[in-house]
Amino acid sequence: MPTAISLRGLSKHFGQVRAVDELDLDIADGEFFSMLGPSGSGKTTVLRLIAGFEEPTAGVIMLGEEAVTRRPPFARDVNTVFQDYAIFPHMSVRENVEYGLRVKKVGRPDRRRRAEEALETVRLAGYADRRPHQLSGGQRQRVALARALVNRPRVLLLDEPLGALDLQLRREMQIELKEIQREVGITFVFVTHDQEEALTMSDRIAVFNEGRIEQLASPVELYERPASAFVAGFVGTSNLLQGRVARDLLGQDGTFVIRPEKLQMVAEAPAEAGRVSAPGVVREVVYLGAATLSVVELDAGPTVTVSHQNTDTSIDAALERRDQRVVVTWRRDHLVSLGSSDPAASPEEETA
């Protein structure tokens, strides 16, 4: 598959801070690509570099076959959906959506037709004559999307576009955005700090930390096979077993992670091959609706979180487990090894 964007050795320094540090990245044509990371991890800077709002300190940005590294934003075939939408307040919805075509001297009838189409794509047909201040947050977000899509760019950049919406609307828009992306077939590069958002929509996700990519993988791989403790901690919840604990419980050196839903609480250790069991005391029970989280302090030292689907109508049994002794058990092949732990770290500090 041809690449839409290639970044080679891309760096951006702000004074002493390396916001983006020697990044290499290829994004395929038609892909829904997410850049996930905490604030300050460099993901937004990468987006702004691709859009042309920042000039890189070093490195090359290729858009298809063209090097666009030093080109101004208006000479790049990418469009951006801004975090604050940046809908022009002195223009109607139609004028906003037509703007890109207008400055490219597309004729009025053609312009109008394409704007109508774009508004239809984002489910805003009939809103063309509204003023921006008459729209809700979700509608503004759709106008911003239509305004970018109408230009049929090679790549659409989205800078945390759902951040300002309430949870319900955000969930709806996640599904809709994915549908729209499939419909138009444009490469989407989506920046978010919300791991759930990234997992829901993306074909591939790059997890950013301190200006570098920690892991680049599909959502399933990212969740099931995190490459580092940072990824394991940032994408979903995970239990970390390392050092002495790993040796005692697993008979193996190294750092291991296991997801809460892979753990089970039972009364007695099952005598089953390929299972690991560890006794402990339930310290906290958190009811989450669909699931219940139990925090268990293992006798071996670490505290682990166990997730349990609430398939019964009553969760009284789970709630009553507080301060009870239980055995936590899991399948050995559900453990993900992060490689051997740093030998320099002192054993005392290695418990999770």
Partner 1 sequence: MATSSSRSIAMSRGLRRSLGGFTVLVLAVVYVPLLLVLINSFNTDNTFGWPPPGFTLHWWKVAAESSGARDALVTSVEVALCATAVALVLGTLAAMGLRRTRFFGRNAISLLIILPIALPGIVTGLAFQNGFRTILGVQLSIWTIVIAHATFCIVTVFNNVQARFQRLGASYEQASMDLGAGRWTTFRLITFPMLRSSLLAGALLSFGLSFDEIVVTTFTASSQDQTLPIWILQNLFRPNQAPVVNVVAAVLVIASAVPIYLAQRLSGSTAEGLTGAR
Catalog residues that contact partner 1 under the rule CB under 8 A: 51-53, 72-74, 78-80, 82, 84, 86, 88-90, 99-100, 103-104, 147-148, 151
Q: Which is nearer to partner 1, 22 or 54 (CB)?
A: 54
* Distance of closest approach, residue 104 Cβ to partner 1, in angstroms: 5
Q: With CA atoms as reference, report the closest residue to 197 among 150, 221, 161, 237.
A: 161
Residue with tokens 């994004």: 27
* Distance of closest approach, residue 139 Cβ to partner 1, in angstroms: 17
The dihedral sign for the CA sequence 220, 221, 222, 226:
positive
Q: Which is nearer to partner 1, 188 or 234 (CB)?
A: 188
Q: Which is nearer to partner 1, 187 or 239 (CB)?
A: 187
Is the distance from CB of 285 to CB of 292 less than 8 angstroms?
yes
Ramachandran angles phi, psi of 243, nearest 5°: 65, -130
Q: Which is nearer to partner 1, 48 or 170 (CB)?
A: 48
For residues 101 and 152, what is the distance between their CA atoms, to the nearest angstrom?
A: 10
Q: Which is nearer to partner 1, 5 or 245 (CB)?
A: 5
* Distance of closest approach, residue 276 Cβ to partner 1, in angstroms: 52
Instruction: List the structure tokens of 87.
Output: 């809908």
* Distance of closest approach, residue 2 Cβ to partner 1, in angstroms: 23
* Distance of closest approach, residue 175 Cβ to partner 1, in angstroms: 26
Query: In the β-sheet with 255-258, what is the strand arrangement from edge to edge?
Result: 239-242, 255-258, 336-337
For residues 209 and 40, what is the distance between their CA atoms, to the nearest angstrom?
A: 8
Q: Which is nearer to partner 1, 77 or 221 (CB)?
A: 77
Residue with tokens 């959906």: 81
Assign 192 to helix, strand or coil: strand
| Strands 32-36 and 187-192, bridge-based pairing | parallel
* Distance of closest approach, residue 85 Cβ to partner 1, in angstroms: 8
